[in-house]
Amino acid sequence: MSSSTAYRHAGRTWFPPVIFDMIIERVAGGESVATICEDQSMPSKSTVYNAISEDPLLSKRFADATRTAVEKRAKQSA
């Protein structure tokens, strides 16, 4: 998906891919989706989770980011 195309579901625009890229980066850094979505420039938590549940690529990227965050936390506490 190009960076100029918005993620869509049933004809409804969710948010541009660059926003999801930022969410993924922040999740990988250890932030929760709830905290990220408090930022007014971000979509709602339910919108993010709906996008993840509907798109296998987004789901994989989110899972990878979550795994990265867990690994970072484990290294910090070791």
CATH number, domain of 45, equals: 1.10.10.60
Q: Report pLDDT digits (tens) over 36-57.
A: 999 999 999 999 999 999 999 9
Of 2 and 39, the one with more pLDDT: 39
Residue 7 inside a domain? The answer is: no
Question: What does the pLDDT read at residue 1?
Answer: 40
Residue 63 inside a domain? The answer is: yes
In which domain, by residue range, is 31 found?
14-77
Residue 2 inside a domain? The answer is: no
31's CB contacts (< 8 A; 6+ apart) are: none
Residues 59 and 62: their CA atoms lie apart, in Å, by: 5
Residue 25 inside a domain? The answer is: yes
Domain count, the chain: 1
What pTM did the predictor assign? 0.80
Residue 61 inside a domain? The answer is: yes
Residue 9 inside a domain? The answer is: no
